[in-house]
Chain A
């Protein structure tokens, strides 16, 4: 089957108004939130149902055509980077909340449902969906499942894989199956757990059964303002060591605060070296003693100031400052590259200093905003992405930082995934034997290698350079 026939048949599945092949439309999909790498698909499809998705996959399987699934395109590792000339399936139209069952604390949604919309839907009845990535105003539940997304409240409540009961998936063969489902315990191997975080390489998600939680009775948000990052980091350690697990524990450094205040005026102090955003939730009598302890620990670590948000508006403003930090960097640099590594919490202060040195060696400024409670760092390299040489320097700098994370006992990715971005560093994290097993299991799901090729683990014959499209070898297309 040649490409034009394949595309004709694909258009017939979703309808002409839901398929794009003209270059202007395709350009909108040539990258996700990792804009360093761009690659133009051959066709973009917006299916409206699981049946259409299954038909698309079956057809592509017959044609040997590579498929890349895309939620909202907010991914930061290039997980939704299209294969040049390949098929991109986008879930914008599959955005219905299908079932809400509050007594059993569960809901079933289509993959395109926006994360925050789900919480907003059940919030009037006193429930929420816990995993809250910073992009939650835009990102999709399906994308969250594919990446095993995190977010600030994962410190206390766990990450996406702890909040998904089941997935309906279309396998690369075109077969449809539920992995997990209604209840907590399913027979056999935990394929649901294995699929979550597999970044679209094992199949396409068409429904997600999620856990919901009752809302906490009270929420307290506070700021600790410090003159050194090390004091802020020590406070984090002391809080955890005191047996307190806050709902969130986020760190923002000075360059980030300056960018945030320029754009959003969230109320952060611009001359502090480090700002700790701490949130507690629970019963008022459970929280009150914790607030006191935290206040004391901030003071012990020479906090210049300690603030408690006075009302819901102030809380929202403080969180907006944190969650929109990435967006604020545009005010201080032409481009930025957001990294994602995770290190043992006790090593954060040392690692931040080393990151600073690495930045210096590459002649680049680095800002930091991160989940201090679980050691998930987000060093943001500021550079001018209109200058190719600077982009290359940023990527090289990023690679060094990722290797540093592994060296100190951490991992390459805390929540953004591997995508294309961290492929070269995978052999630093895993032995050859472990990568072989991962490759073999991937082949068990996808023998023809059509699902999101070139992502997660290095594939022979598929590679990517800055400024070049993601291509797969000729033989993959019949």
Chain B
């Protein structure tokens, strides 16, 4: 009951002695699944977050953790009415060990703000998820968000060194330490990365940092067909070149990103960061590989131009709102399977009368495919065809955006390939960290 939940939220605010705990006014911006929340709590400290969770649990209130809300569209709808717990006041740069290339910050700090802070030191947090200008450190890690540069720098799990979390029963835990190499005890950092807020609320994080490269550049090559692009991908990945990213785009996606397509079916973009001499050699050799595989003359971008292109690549896709009627899928396959899947996706999009936009992290075997322009049934069939393809290749398929009826039908988190033993273990883990099931209930895999 809305009135009841509001009453509970007020009681919690009074118990915590924090007049500013609850957000006032229009709660529309905090909506989840199109519904404005019953109340929004914004704790200031880890301790307050712990007490808030303990109280919410005792009073039977479910809790939806939230950073900037750029990934709130993911997952199934919450299984019951809930309080949104926003990290917007868990901010601040807590410690910058400049010499050690380590940064500790509040979970509510935006990635953009963290990198603005680090820029004068010639360092950066090597994460480039979609909506990087708004996304928070806590949200990026909780959702294991990533972008093109995961090829060189890895996922959030590879960069998080330590985190402080508030558990559902109000206990506080700290995992890891502010050092880059650490095998002390169990690696709970890994468990929390990508746990989508269902195991606890991350309040502070420590990351390893990287030096800003002395020089940056990118090569953009166009191919007449997917097979040629795939050949180039394999050649680059077998070479001693060390690209920051290796992205495969189909025509429609290349056009959105701003590559002059001109009839080419596929585009391959590779970026490099190195000292000047090494950069020139890598750009030249990458261009040569592309030409050997039948690409036309590759475009070479440097410095600011290269950086602009790279941010257009990771930018705002998939759309934060979920895609306004489109079906957005993410497939995890092997490097050698990218070209084939791209061809398949375009082929049956054509058969079903759908538009298809595709961008792959080719070096990681991860593809994003968006189908649009049709009703529910063609989209349903597109999912079915792709799902069969991915399953037959031993991969995993996730749904990042879909029209509401499909979100109820489809296994959004790749549950099809989750075995019963793994599923049981995961539920055991959840049961021990959130026994009352108050965190993001119903939203994650298996509606856990």
Contact = CB atoms under 8 A, between A and B. Distances in A.
Given A283-B281, A344-B100, A437-B433, A430 B240 contact: no
Interface residues of B, number: 87
Interface string A280-296: 00110111111000000
Given A104-B334, A417-B183, A190 B193 contact: yes
A176 B195 CA distance: 23
Given A190-B194, A193-B187, A290 B275 contact: yes
B426 A188 contact: yes
A78 interface: no
A237 B99 contact: yes
Interface in B410-432: 413-415, 417-419, 421-423, 425-426, 428-432
B115 interface: no
Contacts of A346: 97, 99-100
B426 to A, nearest CB: 5
A162 interface: yes
Interface string B174-194: 111111111111111011011
A158 B154 contact: yes
Q: Which of B186, B234, B276: most chain A Cβ within 10 A?
A: B186
A396 to B, nearest CB: 20
B178 to A, nearest CB: 5
A417 B181 CA distance: 11
B275 A289 contact: yes
A345 interface: yes
Contacts of B274: 286
Contacts of B364: 184
Q: Which of B183, B280, B413, B418: most chain A Cβ within 10 A?
A: B183
Interface stretch (A359-367, A386-394, A408-416): A408-416
Interface string B185-223: 111101101110001000000000011111000000000
A437 B365 contact: no
A148 interface: yes
Contact of B181 (A178, A371, A440): A371
B265 interface: no
A433 B238 contact: no
B124 to A, nearest CB: 11
B423 A416 contact: no
A243 B212 contact: yes
Contacts of B271: none
B167 A437 contact: yes
A179 B414 CA distance: 14
Contacts of A2: none
A102 interface: yes
Contact of B445 (A178, A188, A342): A188
A418 B187 CA distance: 12
B157 interface: yes
Contacts of A375: 100, 179-181
A342 B422 contact: no
Given A104-B335, A187-B396, A194-B190, A431 B174 contact: yes
A444 interface: yes
Q: Which of A148, A179, A196, A286: most chain B Cβ within 10 A?
A: A286
A155 B444 CA distance: 35
B211 A197 contact: no
A183 B394 contact: yes
Interface stretch (A214-222, A304-312, A467-475): A214-222
A12 interface: no
Q: Which of A194, A244, A245, A289: most chain B Cβ within 10 A?
A: A194
Interface string B79-109: 0000000000000000001011110000000
Given A243-B122, A441-B432, A103 B183 contact: no
B375 interface: no
A289 B275 CA distance: 8
A185 B396 contact: yes
A198 B186 contact: yes
Given A183-B333, A187-B415, A214 B181 contact: no
Given A162-B158, A183-B334, A243-B122, A374 B179 contact: yes
A227 interface: no
A256 B105 CA distance: 40
Contacts of B180: 374-375
B35 to A, nearest CB: 26
Given A418-B184, A433-B171, A105 B237 contact: yes
Contacts of B445: 187-188
A61 B102 CA distance: 44
A316 interface: no
A462 interface: no
B190 A283 contact: no
A286 B275 contact: yes
B188 A438 contact: yes
A145 to B, nearest CB: 12
B351 interface: no
A452 to B, nearest CB: 13
A419 B333 CA distance: 36
Contacts of A214: 237-240
B179 A437 contact: no
Interface in B292-333: 330, 332-333
B357 to A, nearest CB: 20
A350 to B, nearest CB: 13
Contacts of B176: 411
B102 A344 contact: yes
Contacts of B174: 430-431, 434
Nearest to B282: A283
Nearest to B414: A187
A74 interface: no
Contacts of B154: 158, 162
Nearest to B174: A434
A466 interface: no
Contacts of A46: none
B48 interface: no
Contact of A240 (B99, B173, B214, B422): B99
B214 A243 contact: yes
B442 interface: no
B365 A148 contact: no
Contacts of A182: 334, 394-395
Given A104-B336, A147-B183, A433-B171, A285 B421 contact: no
Given A162-B154, A375-B180, A441-B433, 12 more contacts: A103-B234, A171-B421, A177-B422, A188-B426, A193-B187, A193-B190, A240-B101, A289-B275, A290-B275, A346-B97, A437-B167, A438-B188
30 contacts: A101-B334, A103-B335, A147-B183, A158-B154, A162-B158, A178-B419, A182-B395, A185-B398, A187-B413, A188-B444, A188-B445, A189-B195, A189-B426, A193-B157, A193-B187, A193-B191, A196-B190, A237-B99, A241-B99, A283-B282, A286-B278, A286-B281, A374-B179, A375-B181, A410-B179, A415-B183, A434-B175, A437-B188, A437-B433, A438-B186
